[in-house]
Structure formats: C-alpha cells, structure tokens
Chains A and B, each alone.
Chain A
C-alpha cells in the first residue's frame, strides 16, 4: 500500500509539473519515456529470471494449481470484453489491454502509454490501482460468498505481494501458496499479454 502511494505520488507530481506549464520546452518526453520503458522491461526481466520462486513454483505443485491463473486470465478478459457492450467508445482491444494488467498498474500503464496512447495509459493506471484497492477492501466478502479462490482471482497479479496478507488471512495459509503462484504467473504474463493484445494485427 505504501509503495502504491509513492508511485501515485510520482504520477501526481508529473501531472502538476505538466499543468504548471513551466517545463523546459524542446525535450521529447515521449521518446524519453520509450527508453525508460526499455530499461523497465530489462529490469523486470532480471527480477523474474533471478527469482528462484519463479521457477520453483512451476515444478513443485500439482497440476490443479495451474488452473487458477488460467481461470483468472479467462475471467478477466471475458469481463473486459463485456465492458465494451456497456461503453461502446472503448474498442475490444483497448478494453482487453487494460484488463490484462491484472492489477499490475505500474508496468501495464507504462506499456499502454508507449504502445497505444496517453489516455488509455491513464485508464490502465486508474483501473489497475482500483483492482488492487477493491481486492484489499472486498476480499473478506468475496471469500465468504465465492469460495477461497475469490480473493486470489480478484487480486490478480497483486496476489503475490500487496494483497497477499488479506488473502492469507481470509482464505487460509494453504491458499497463500496458491496466491503467490498465481500472482507470479500473472505478473510474468502482463508484459507479454499487453504487448500481444495491442500489437496483434487482426
């Protein structure tokens, strides 16, 4: 939670700096952002590759556990697709790309900004922050009515870190392991899925 506040603080600081109109002109901030994205991609890769858990979880648990992230991906993307019926101004591709952040707002908003547009980047930032906050608040109720996987599903990629404590508390310790596994799988998939959705020619 604290780290999301810091990240959101940097975003707000940028907005205020932009609004002030006092930024030095002549710099191409978008191009700068593009290089920053490559840096972020590389560093995100390093953290995935160097984490023993990323590889261990894949082999340790039985086949059932793999259905958890699969279900979350299908459910999330189906939900995102339905949104285009309610909000016709959103295209299917845009809605799916935002949904495919699975709560990982920092990476997904940065990606979507660079690969699509600023306005969709902001949608992704707010939407995925909201997913994390909603999970923190609603997990007790969701678990009660929809079973022990509900908090993990709602948390998406955040189930491995920020929403893990609340999931562990309401679904139990044994589900904490499933939460970490599912969160890791979704976190790894975010950059791939968002890129695929936004660049796939079809």
Chain B
C-alpha cells in the first residue's frame, strides 16, 4: 500500500511541475488512457483464463448490480437531506 501511495504522490508532485503546460497535459492524458486500456485488457485476459470467474459470472453480475443500486440509493437519499437543509434556501 505504501508503494502505491508513494507512486501516486510522486505523480501529483510531478504534475505540479507541469501546471499550465497544455502540451504536457495532452500527452499525459494520452498515456493515462493507454495505461487504462492496457490494464483493462490485462484484466480481461485474467478473467478469460480464470475458470472461477467465468463459472461465477452470474453471481458476479448480481453482486455488481446490487452494490451499485444500493450505493446510489444511499448517496441519493442523504443528498436529498443535505439539499433540503442547506441548498434549497438559495433557490429562487
């Protein structure tokens, strides 16, 4: 975990050096996209060669949908309370 946070922090510090340099931002965004593609492709390979995942895809899909729906519900309900007490008064 420490390694990951150090790498992330190093990235943020390096990012501070290129604030206001659009060409670098564009380049970094390209690299970031391809790093994501690469990781998802590798994740796909792991999944495709992993019998356990393939055999349990129904259960995995079910868990995924349950987590997203209940998480959305939790955050939306709390945001409704926040809206009522702090934000609604600002509206005309």
The CA of A37 and the CA of B77, in the complex, are separated in Å by: 34
Q: A153 is contacted by which of B18, B56, B68, B78 (Cβ under 8 Å)?
A: B78
CB of A42 within 8 A of chain B?
yes
Q: A80-B70, A118-B47, A127-B65 are in contact. Are A46 and B80 (CB under 8 A)?
A: no
The CA of A130 and the CA of B33, in the complex, are separated in Å by: 20
Instruction: Tell me which residues across on chain B come within 8 A of A95, comparing CB atoms.
Output: 67
CB of A45 within 8 A of chain B?
yes
Q: Which single residue of chain B is at the shortest CB-CB distance from A7?
A: B40
Q: Are B74 and A32 in contact (CB under 8 A)?
A: no
We find that the number of chain A residues with CB closer than 8 angstroms to chain B is 95
Chain B's interface size range is 35 or more
Within 8 A of A (CB), among B35-87: 35-50, 52-54, 56-57, 59-84, 86-87
CB of A185 within 8 A of chain B?
no
Q: A10-B40, A29-B45, A43-B28 are in contact. Are A127 and B68 (CB under 8 A)?
A: yes
Q: A147 is contacted by which of B17, B41, B56, B80 (Cβ under 8 Å)?
A: B80
Q: A42-B7, A42-B10, A87-B66 are in contact. Are A75 and B18 (CB under 8 A)?
A: no
Q: A41 is contacted by which of B7, B49, B66, B88 (Cβ under 8 Å)?
A: B7
Instruction: Tell me which residues across on chain B come within 8 A of A106, comparing CB atoms.
Output: 36, 39-40
Point out residues on A near B: beta carbons under 8 Å: 3, 6-8, 10-21, 23, 29-30, 32-33, 36-52, 64, 67-68, 71-72, 74-80, 82-83, 86-87, 89-90, 95, 98-99, 106-107, 109-110, 113, 115, 118-119, 121-128, 130-131, 134-135, 138, 142, 146-150, 152-154, 156, 191-192, 195-196, 199
Point out residues on B near A: beta carbons under 8 Å: 1, 3-5, 7-21, 24-25, 28-29, 31-33, 35-50, 52-54, 56-57, 59-84, 86-88, 91
6 contacts between A and B (CB under 8 A): A14-B46, A46-B28, A50-B17, A82-B70, A118-B53, A148-B87
